[in-house]
Amino acid sequence: MNYYSLHKKAPNVTFRDAVLKGLAPDKGLYFPQSITPLPKVFFDNIHHLSNNEIAFEAIRQFVSPDISEDILKTIIEETLSFEFPVVELNKNTSTLELFHGPTMAFKDVGARFMARCLGYFNKSNTNQVTVLVATSGDTGAAVANGFLGVKGVNVVILYPSGKVSAIQEKQLTTLGQNISALEVEGTFDDCQAMVKAAFLDKDLTSKMQLTSANSINVARWLPQLFYFMFAYKTLKSKYKDIVFSVPSGNFGNVCAGIMAQQLGLPIKHFIASNNQNNVVARFLKTKIYDPKPSVQTISNAMDVGDPSNFIRIKEMYKNTFETLQNNVSCFSFSDDQTKAAMLEIYTSYGYVADPHGAVGYLGAKAYLQKFPKVHCVFLETAHPTKFLDVVQQVVKIKQHIPPQIQSVMGRNKVATCISTYKDFKAYLLK
C-alpha cells in the first residue's frame, strides 16, 4: 500500500515511510492510495471470528508489504491484550467501553499498534527516532505507556499546562526512561502547532529523525477501526440499524469508524459529539470551516479548535458536502449539559460515565429524537476515575480506583516548562 499527502504536493510513500515521517513534507496528512472493501461474507460471518482475526483482515491491506503477515499477527496479539465490552443500557442505547487497556483510554489501541510497528521498522536501525506527540490528555498517557522501553525510540510529549486532569498528568510525566514531558503554557492547539512546525524545520530534521504519534500518523489512526467492528460483531444479531456516537476532538476516532464503514462495515450513520469546541458542528450547518482557539471544558481530551483528521473524513466522502452531511451528524454540548447527562446515566442505569462518554451519550440521545428506531452505541473513551474530581462532584459515590490508576498516583511529576516554539526547538536540539 502506498500513501499520498492530502495536500497533494508531496511524493507518495510506503506505509513504513508514512509511519516514520508522520506528516508529509507539504504539511499534508497521509492517506491510503486505495481502499478495498472486505467481502460481504466477512461481515455476515464476523460473529465466528476472534477479535484478532477481525483486526488482521481489516488492517493487512494498509500495512502490506512492509509488514509480513506473521509479524502483523504478533503486533495485533500484543496490541489487543484487553477486552472491548459492549454494555446495553436500554433497547436503543449501548456503550462501547474502550478503557480496559493499560492507561484506561481508547488511545491504548492506536498507541500500542504504532509503537510495535515503529519498533519493528527501527530494529536494525542504529539511528534514534524521536516521536513527538501533542496531547489534550489521553494521547500522551497512551503513547508514553505504549512506547516505554522501545529500543531506539525517544518520545517527547507536549501537553497544555493546567488543562489535563491530575491523573492524566501523572500518567504522562512519571514514567521516565525514554519518555520526556514538556508542559506548555498554552492550549492543545499550541502544542499541536509546535509539533507540526518541528516537522518542517530543517534545523531539526537535518539532525534527527522525527515522527508523530498523534492520530495524524497512519499507524495511530487506522487501528482504531478495529473496535467498531468488534462492537458490530456483538450487536449484529440483535439490531439491524446501528449508529455510533463518537466523542470527537481531533476527529481521529470517528474518522477510523468511517474507514471501517468504507471497508464494508454495515453502519447506518455516525454522530460526532462535540463539547463547546464545535468547529465541525458549525461547518455542517453553515458550510463554513472556521477554526477557533480551543475552549477549556471538563471533557478536556476533546478541547481541539482545529481538528486535524477532519480532512481525512472529507476525503473519504469525496469532498462532497451533501454526502458528508448525509452520513455524519454533529452536535455540541455545554459542560452543564455534560454533567446533567452523567447524572442521568447513573440515575437511570446505575452506570458511571466519564465526561467524554457523557457527551457521546448526549449525541446519541439527540439523534434518537429524530430516528427512534435505530440502536445508538456511544463510545466510553476513558475510565471515569481519570476525571475523578468531575465525576465525584456529579455522581456522589466513592469511585473504585483501578490498579492502572493506583500505580501512578504516588509518583513524582517530571516535566520541563516551555512557552514558545523557540523553547521547544532548543529542547530538542539539546
∠ at Cα 244 (239, 248), nearest 5°?
170
For 150, list phi and psi in degrees, rounded to 5.
Answer: -70, 125
> Which pTM value belongs to this model?
0.90
Same domain for 228 and 208: no
Beta bridge partners, 57, equal none
Based on the domain organization, do 186 and 102 belong to the same domain?
no
pLDDT of residue 80: 97
Predicted local confidence at residue 264, as pLDDT:
98
SS3 letters across 188-228: HHHHHHHHHHHHCCHHHHCCCEEEECCCCCHHHHHHHHHHH
Position 411 scores a pLDDT of 86
Q: What is the pLDDT of residue 422?
A: 95
- Answer positive or negative: Cα dihedral of 315, 320, 321, 323: negative
Query: Is the residue at 38 inside a domain?
Result: no
What local confidence, expressed as pLDDT, does residue 186 receive? 92
- In this prediction, residue 151 carries a pLDDT of 81
Residue 294: predicted pLDDT? 87
Distance CA 46, CA 34 (A): 23
Domain-embedded: residue 51? no
Tally Cβ neighbours within 10 Å of residue 430. Answer: 5
Same domain, 150 and 284: no
State which H helix or E strand residue 329 sits in. strand 328-332
Which residues, 6 or more positions from 177, have their beta carbon under 8 angstroms from its beta carbon? 148, 149
How far is the C-alpha of 127 from the C-alpha of 343, rounded, in Å?
51
Number of domain units in the chain: 2
Asked if residue 57 belongs to a domain, the reply is no
Domain range for 123: 2-33+108-214+411-429
Residue listed under C-alpha cell 508514553: 144
40 inside domain: no
pLDDT at 335: 97
Count CB-CB contacts under 10 A for residue 24: 25
Q: Is 126 found in the same domain as 6?
A: yes
Q: What pLDDT tens digit does each residue of the chain (430 aa) get? A: 999 999 999 999 999 999 988 889 998 999 999 999 999 999 999 999 999 999 999 999 999 999 999 999 999 999 999 999 999 999 999 999 999 999 899 999 999 999 999 889 888 777 788 999 998 777 888 888 888 888 888 999 999 999 888 888 988 898 888 999 999 999 988 998 999 899 889 999 999 989 888 788 999 999 999 999 999 999 999 999 999 999 999 999 999 999 999 999 999 999 999 999 999 999 999 999 999 888 999 998 899 989 999 999 999 999 999 999 999 999 999 999 999 999 999 999 999 999 999 999 999 999 999 999 999 999 999 999 888 889 989 988 877 888 888 877 778 899 999 999 999 999 999 8
pLDDT at position 281 is 94
263 and 153 in a common domain: no
177 located within any domain: yes
Q: Cα angle at 169 between 127 and 393, to 5 degrees?
A: 155
Say if strands 179-184 and 416-418 run parallel, antiparallel, or are unpaired.
Answer: parallel
Active site residues per annotation: 107
* Cis amide linkage into residue 65, ω under 30° from 0: yes
Residue 285: other Cβ atoms inside 10 A = 11
As given in the structure block, the three cell numbers for residue 318 are 469525496
Residue for grid cell 475523578: 388
Domain CATH code at residue 140: 3.40.50.1100
